[in-house]
Amino acid sequence: MNQSFARRVWSRIHEPRAIAVLQASAYLVLGLGGLTVFHTAPQSVEGQIGAVSMMVLATMITVSTTLGIPAALFGWQWLERIISAGVIMSAGLYGWIIVSLQIAGSGNRFLQLSFVIAAIFHQIIRLVRIAGPPYNRELAITPASP
């Protein structure tokens, strides 16, 4: 019984399944990171933007990524486009905070910023990949006429 249920769920995961599972896993990791803020917010960031703003940022990340997991797994592109935009906005805000902390304080925050920028680029790539029919191998790419 359990095996057939697992197979049914697996068969409904959007092709290519490896990409769908990896994308859902990325959303899971980001979501778990957002959840930790509700327990203990990063003091340097919270001090920069305030407790309420930090909770809003954490809520944006957590809600976006929680909805992103099933959207990535089951190919709900319309929802994942919204989620990707939410993740990009959250990461952009977080990146802006990192830049502000770099300017205002001592130390080096460029490594943090590089990871945030990479996450933004990843989401932009994801948006491009889900812009049309998902991984449609049937589409013929024809070279431009000379």
Q: Where are the domains of the chain?
A: 9-129
Contact 74, 15 (CB under 8 A): no
Per-residue confidence (pLDDT) for residue 61, from 0 to 100: 94
Among 89, 71, 69, CA closest to 79? 71
Per-residue confidence (pLDDT) for residue 133, from 0 to 100: 60
Per-residue confidence (pLDDT) for residue 140, from 0 to 100: 45
pLDDT band at 35 (very low <50, low <70, confident <90, very high): very high
Q: In this predicted model, what pLDDT tens digit does every residue of 103-146 receive, in sequence order? A: 988 788 899 999 999 999 999 999 988 887 655 555 445 455 45
Q: Of all residues in the chain, what percent are helix, strand and coil, respectively (each to 5)?
A: 75, 0, 25
* Mean pLDDT (the chain, rounded): 86
Number of Cβ atoms within 10 Å of the Cβ of 97: 23
Q: In 3-state terms, what secondary structure has residue 60?
A: helix
Q: In this predicted model, what pLDDT tens digit does every residue of 65-75 receive, in sequence order? A: 999 999 999 99
Number of Cβ atoms within 10 Å of the Cβ of 35: 14
Q: In this predicted model, what pLDDT tens digit does every residue of 2-15 receive, in sequence order? A: 678 888 888 899 88
Per-residue confidence (pLDDT) for residue 72, from 0 to 100: 94
C-alpha to C-alpha distances, 63 to 31, 76, 135, nearest whole angstrom: 8, 16, 26
